[in-house]
Amino acid sequence: MVKKSDLIIKKSGISGKGVYARISIKKGKTICFLRGELMDLNEMIRRTDENLEDGADPLGVDNEKYLDLDELSRTFNHSCNPNAYLSKKSKLKALRDINRGDEITYDYSTTMDDNEEKIKKSGGGLWTCKCKCGSKNCRGLIDQFRLLPKNIQNFYLKNNYTPDFILRKYKK
């Protein structure tokens, strides 16, 4: 696993701040575990309703289970052409070789499989975001895994580039 000291938070060209590699990281190497407080969907809804949590911050780690991410974990930005992915529940791994100085990104959509009915019944809506990653294959919108184009879903599923709860639900 990459040492925390081999990662640095600094201004990002994608959005706000991002996490950058201070060393080269080989494909398949574990970068870190995204960490935070585990909560269920009801608690996430309560926190967002009470403005204790931004709708973009919780990370989906299982069916109706989320992590309220710590500062480092919430600073990894999204990209439609990521160089990292989440496996298991929250293990961030290099999807390809990452060079020293590169911003480390993952595709947020690979962690998004929210219970739309329950969220809407609470008066909320599913979180989406206009994408500003700037990659050649930018989809323009960060949204639910099920709404990704089929070829992208298939790429992530075939290569096990999603958390386990997504693999269980969508991998045939």
**pTM given for the model:** 0.93
- The predicted pLDDT at position 56 comes to 66
In whole angstroms, give the CA distance from residue 159 to residue 22.
Answer: 27
The Cα-based distances of 39 to 42, 58, 59, 157, 168 in angstroms read 8, 9, 10, 26, 20
For the chain, domains (ranges, CATH) are 4-167 (2.170.270.10)
- Structure confidence at residue 17 (pLDDT): 97
Q: Which has the closest alpha carbon to 166: 111, 126, 128, 127? A: 111
pLDDT by residue for the chain (172 residues), tens digit each? 999 999 999 999 999 999 999 999 999 999 999 999 999 999 988 888 888 777 667 899 999 999 999 999 999 999 999 999 999 999 999 999 999 999 999 999 999 998 888 888 888 888 889 999 999 999 999 999 999 999 999 999 999 999 999 999 999 7
